[in-house]
Structure 1
Amino acid sequence: MTQQPDHILQTMEGSILVITLNKPSRLNAWDKPMRDDLVMAILKASKASDVEAVVLTGAGDRAFCAGQDLNEGKTFDADRAELWIEEWRTLYNAIRRFDKPFVVALNGIAAGSAFQVSLLADFRIGHALSKMGQPEINSGIASATGFWILREMLGLARAVDLIQTGRILEAEESHRLGLINEIVGREEVLPRALELARMLAGKPKHAYAFNKQRICAATQAGFDETFELARQIHRRAFEAGETQAEMAKFFNKKN
């Protein structure tokens, strides 16, 4: 039997846990097994006394993560779509409630749900080709959760722009808008993310955790409302069948 590769890789760099999304042949697009492993790793790191911070990155040099693996999503029905949204709620909550520093090293494109995950982190380090965006509409997926986090980060007008056009932001625009905190050389993305994580880990730990708890509380009502609406919206969308059809069409174009 052929051994399947790990969905994520975990290595310790001193007291910093580096988690690497590990499907480079598919631009690290995630499915349920990868999401489950990522949640487990984050929850374990939150309780581990030897882990002072997390850096999340992607394998290869093309993508941090291309978002949802359409091979999985195109087979969903309405019931599975609701469970899918609950899986995202679990992952997003794991990141939002992670009391230690959480830094994303954007080694390439971050699209759709991966864009959202990167925005849930404390800081993002990228390079000149680290593109970001919310192109879900182009594959028939409503941006219920994407709209929430983009409105929180950028305001209503820019959120509408990004979710309705599906356009991809170049690194310079993302940096100007504050979505990427620093742009460094391609080979310096992970080292700089580790350096930043170590600096943040050196802050008073209780104060850092309390600040994160306050940030989480300030956005909790919108988060809860978003996921309830997302559950309803995606159920209706998958009942109508357009989402599966558009996913399949989009996936076929890529092949």
Structure 2
Amino acid sequence: MTENTTVVVTCHPVTDSTTRAYVAEVALNRPDKLNAWTGAMRGRLVEALDELGEDVSCRAVVLTGTGRAFCAGQDLAETAAIDPDDHAAAEEWIDDFGRLFRTVRGLDKPVIAAVNGVAAGSGFQFALLADLRIGHAAVRMGQPEVLSGIPSITGIWAMSGILGRAKTAEFALTGRLVDGTEALRLGLLSRLVAEDEVKVAALAEAVRLAELPPGAVALTKGRLRELDDAGLDDAIEAAKKVHVAAYATGEPQREMAKFLAGRRG
């Protein structure tokens, strides 16, 4: 097991395998902040996923969060401090997410998200990058970024393939969160289980997929990536332009400051 303060990687051996195959559980580990992430946390996550991607013994990956949430998205205390005149900072922030998204998508092994509790904003997008998503009825999933003055650009890309244009517009513009039952109906979740069985079910599914021929899995995932790689590239470039424009107005910083002040109050 490899551990640091924000990301925990645990290896679960595939016991029926004749090789040293294992399933990796990658847990976001900032429970007091609902696993809201900072740039440094995402950097550690990319490092961990790169290591797992290169390890042929790792045959599947389960993404989850410790505590009451999968991931509440960006830690607003970090982005609220972006200088409206610092265009490079806004672009670097988006490029940071681009690296994470491409790293998850680049894994040639199955990726299952064990969605526990809240998956919101970029945390919601992170969950949608998984091949399969297992959750429970009380989860809350959605794209509330507009409520904090943050445009949803990569979110539109992440949602559109699952939800279609009408529902994507609804999620992006209203910021509403849905529960697990509706998430299942919409295709945001692949399966619902009892709350205390989410991680167990995700690991069991990962073991089942880990026993499939890895070459066929890798080639299948490669073709799935090809279907919308260009869309992700376009979303990242559009997001940099839009976020530079948004942060230049100071609106996101003001709205995030209001949110943070209200939460402290």
Would you call these one fold, judging by a TM-score over 0.5? yes
Match of 1:21 in 2: 28
TM-score, scaled relative to structure 1: 0.96
Match of 2:54 in 1: 47
Measure the CA separation in 2 of the matches of 1:190 and 1:171. Answer: 15
Measure the CA separation in 1 of the matches of 2:159 and 2:114. Answer: 19
Code of the residue aligned with 1:66 in structure 2: it is A
Measure the CA separation in 2 of the matches of 1:253 and 1:129. Answer: 25
The 4+ residue runs of structure 1 with deviation greater than 3 A are none
RMSD, aligned α-carbons: 1.1
Deviation for aligned residue 1:33:
1.1
Matched, 1:56 2:63: yes
TM-score, scaled relative to structure 2: 0.93
Code of the residue aligned with 1:175 in structure 2: it is L
Matched, 1:118 2:124: no
Deviation for aligned residue 1:201:
1.0
SS of the residue aligned with 1:124? strand
State how 1:54-203 maps to structure 2 within 5 Å. 54-60=61-67, 62-77=68-83, 78-203=87-212
Matched, 1:220 2:245: no
Deviation for aligned residue 1:215:
0.8
Deviation for aligned residue 1:179:
0.8
Code of the residue aligned with 2:166 in structure 1: it is A
% identical aligned pairs: 44
Measure the CA separation in 1 of the matches of 2:78 and 2:36. Answer: 10
Listed one character per residue, the Cα deviations across residues 123-150 of structure 1 (whole Å, up to 9, x for unaligned) are 1110111110000001111000001111
Code of the residue aligned with 2:74 in structure 1: it is Q
Measure the CA separation in 2 of the matches of 1:107 and 1:144. Answer: 25
Measure the CA separation in 1 of the matches of 2:138 and 2:93. Answer: 30
Structure 1: gaps of 5 or more residues: none
Measure the CA separation in 2 of the matches of 1:183 and 1:90. Answer: 30
Structure 2: gaps of 5 or more residues: 14-21
Listed one character per residue, the Cα deviations across residues 189-225 of structure 1 (whole Å, up to 9, x for unaligned) are 0010000001111111111111111111100111111
Measure the CA separation in 2 of the matches of 1:107 and 1:225. Answer: 30
Listed one character per residue, the Cα deviations across residues 164-207 of structure 1 (whole Å, up to 9, x for unaligned) are 00000111000001111111111110010000001111111111
Measure the CA separation in 1 of the matches of 2:143 and 2:126. Answer: 12
Code of the residue aligned with 2:192 in structure 1: it is I
What is the total number of aligned residue pairs between the two structures? 251
Code of the residue aligned with 2:48 in structure 1: it is A
Deviation for aligned residue 1:107:
1.3
Listed one character per residue, the Cα deviations across residues 46-99 of structure 1 (whole Å, up to 9, x for unaligned) are 011221111111011x21010000110101133211100000000000011110
Match of 1:249 in 2: 258
Code of the residue aligned with 1:80 in structure 2: it is A
Measure the CA separation in 1 of the matches of 2:169 and 2:37. Answer: 25
